[in-house]
Chain A
Amino acid sequence: MTQLISTDVAVIGGGIVVASAALALRRMNLAVTVIERDVCGSHSSGVNYGGVRRQGRSISQLALSARAHEIWSRLESIIGIDGEYHRSGHLKIARSQADMASLEIYREKTLAYGMDLQMLDASDLRKLYPWLGDRAIGGSLCPEDGHANPRLVSPAFAAAARRAGADIREHSRVDSIEKDGQSFILTTQSGLQVRSAFVLNCAGAWSGKIAAQFGEVVPIEPIHPVMVVTEPLAPFMNLSLGVEGGGVYARQAPSGNCVIGGSRGFALDDIRARPSRSAINLVLQQTVELLPSLRHAHIIRSWSGTEGSLPDKQPVIGPSKTTSGLIHGFGFSGAGFQIGPAVGEVLAELVRDGRTSTPIEAFAIDRYL
């Protein structure tokens, strides 16, 4: 039994980018149908580390990130819950003088973006964060960066979009997309046939197939970031932590559990992934080096997910170069959570105006073609 739907914009996917786009499109009084294979916020947007940070992004992303930062400041009024979002500050730890130097260079290069980065030396760290071990010899603090709970935030974004009148269809996998003159026709395994003027390709790690169908082949690969979580601990980590040059990243949730990410897992199938033994062992080892006070704590759970990654670690955002009406927003390479809300608005602007006020040239799909 096929259900026919006619809409202005069909959005493929269900993560934070999708929900933000749907919200923005509804504010523009456009009809939106979201087509999500599983349930909204169940993949990258739901299982990521939860970092809400600008610091550390490439310069090309900082305008988007600044726009998102402003949206995050209004999070509760948009999605109705606080989502455990906290501007705890984000500290990028230096383990060597070379690290300090590169952090300082980044700070200088990014002064225009209002992140208010502050360089801290070893004595600052001992004074402010005595729980940080000696491996940290300094760092760069972004006072207004923070963290949130993606398992709460992403579904809540979708719920807000639904309340705003977006037609959200979960458990619906897009099986085919045809272009019929000016319209797209999408059919799903759940019996939907959606006709729309625009299609937003925001299908996360699975966007490559859709893009390829329209002649745009991008080297998107699935990656599987690993998280572990500790038992609840008395509050001590009043920051979100990252390490310059790579390593683990850690934050403490309001419940007291510390979420620690790092390394990579492996795919179980096209959709699911699992932390590898080497990833878990690496995270255990590196965490205790960084945070010796955790040595007696226990990890109680680990998880991984499937995220789309591109070789330059930059997303694809912008109109298709082959097919009018098709707009892409995918490939966030493990850093889509904070900028997601801004990307959604940008995609909506591209639909309505054919352009956007936020620079996205660096993310054009044809940089790969």
Chain B
Amino acid sequence: MEGRPLEERARIERAQGGDAGAYETLVRQYQDVAFRTAYLITGTAAEAEDAAQEAFVKAWYALGRFRPNAPFRPWLLRIVANEARNRRTAAGRRVNLALRARERDPDGDAAPSPEAVALRAEQRAMLLRAINRLRVDDRLVIGYRYFFDLSEAEMATALDCARGTIKSRLSRALGRLRDVLRAEDLTDDDLRGLENG
């Protein structure tokens, strides 16, 4: 893992020199997070795919402005999010995001009771429904922080804002999520159940 950033930097520098093969490896490395970020914004897989693809192409042509020793992921995500927002705006319709939880593989867990599994599934679904109901900005800030595990510095780059504002943006997003959760009659215990699930 120690050598990974250096290796990535080398690929970025090669890509900046016009090596499309090196760039393709970067696309493969980041296409998951790019597509998922776009999906959080657009709400449809087709739009998210188009946005991600367009963003990777634009990033290729913008590589000359990228500093090789800067983190690539947030720089890329900023382009992805812009592209996804543009598509969402151009579509002129509000597609409701429908985040769902994966079906769990029962063999992977320490044999919880069927009731416990069903309960946690319901709690997960309620939390995701609450997230679905948030505004795009709030969803994105929560997604970056808790789903994709971006640092505050990375979030500042990805959201194109001052690092000092990240905490307050996150706090406001959590506040609005809290309001939705209360309306959904969820409890702290429900959420604690998720942690252990």
The finding on whether chains A and B are genuine partners in a shared complex, rather than unrelated, reads: no
Which A residues fall within an 8 A CB radius of B? none
Which B residues fall within an 8 A CB radius of A? none
